[in-house]
Amino acid sequence: MVGVGVSASILDFAARRMGKPESARTGMGGQVAGDPYELIHSLVLGHGRRVASMAFELAGASGLDRRRCALLAEAAYLHDLGKLDLPASILFKVGALTSAERLALQIHPASGYRFVNRFAARMRIDCSVIASVCLHHHEQWDGSGYPLGLAGSSIPREAQIVALADVFDALVSGRSYKPAWPRPEALLAIGDDAGKRFNPELVAPFLELAADPLFGCALEPIGGCTLDFALDAVASRAFVSSLLLSRH
């Protein structure tokens, strides 16, 4: 069984594990304070949804079939799951991280990978695409990324796509340590990194898609990035576009 539509179950699994005493945990949510559901939602709703929506559309534009696009959207939604293993002092720090904190942050791809694989083994389902995206979404085309320093086509295609959407959304979003970049500047930065940080074959279709200011807008509330969500994300964007056009 392939795990399309499993993200809600994975998040629930994570929240329940985080709610257990330290001694009962086997990997996820070691030091985070507060309601685990709230924390999870703050991580994935918003950034995770936008990255999922953008990755779904870019995957379609780059020739992946619909089922693979939906799997990818699910993986994109959960790409930062491993951050649940970080202490709140790093996760919610206002201001720049120290070098030690940055090193700790770089563990999150491996944490997410291990957690998704544990979930998959427990549930006996194939979550290999989600696990792979969790592990490789910070690899860079020129080999300068982490955790494995993979380069070029040795980086799984799904992770290449999520990396683009992830960086673009981070640039155009305000963070505690930086203001949101204007969209044109962010698009220039993405273009400059073609062949360095990103697969140049993906950058061109990404820039075309991102010229639409509604790119990445998944409007409907979701309880998990299901196949329906991935498909609806595109449909809702087209719907809003048509509404806007009808006003002119």
Q: Smallest distance, Å, CB 74 to Fe ion?
A: 16
22 close to 32: Cβ distance less than 8 angstroms? no
The closest residue (CB) to Fe ion is: 80
Q: Smallest distance, Å, CB 44 to Fe ion?
A: 12
> By C-beta, is 74 or 80 nearer to Fe ion?
80
Stretch that binds Fe ion, among 75-83, 169-177, 194-202, 206-214 (CB under 5 A): 75-83
H-assigned helices in 25-152: 36-43, 49-61, 66-77, 88-91, 99-105, 108-123, 128-136
Q: Smallest distance, Å, CB 112 to Fe ion?
A: 8
> By C-beta, is 111 or 226 nearer to Fe ion?
111
Q: Smallest distance, Å, CB 105 to Fe ion?
A: 8
User: Can you give the length of the chain in residues?
Assistant: 248
Stretch that binds Fe ion, among 4-12, 73-81, 177-185, 204-212 (CB under 5 A): 73-81
Interactions with Fe ion, residue window 164-223 (CB under 5 A): none
133 close to 156: Cβ distance less than 8 angstroms? yes
Q: Smallest distance, Å, CB 72 to Fe ion?
A: 16
Among 57, 74, 80, 193, contact with Fe ion (rule: CB under 5 A): 80
Q: Give phi and psi for 210, each to the nearest 5.
A: -75, -10
Strand partners, 198: 194
- Site membership for Fe ion, residue 139 (CB under 5 A): no
User: What span, in angstroms and rounded, lies between the C-alpha atoms of 106 and 145?
Assistant: 10
> By C-beta, is 85 or 237 nearer to Fe ion?
85
Strand partners, 169: none
Q: Smallest distance, Å, CB 84 to Fe ion?
A: 12
User: What span, in angstroms and rounded, lies between the C-alpha atoms of 219 and 117?
Assistant: 30
> By C-beta, is 56 or 237 nearer to Fe ion?
56
Q: What share of the chain is helix, strand, coil (3-state, %, to 5)?
A: 60, 0, 35
> By C-beta, is 80 or 169 nearer to Fe ion?
80
Strand partners, 194: 198
Q: Which residues bind Fe ion (CB under 5 A)?
A: 80
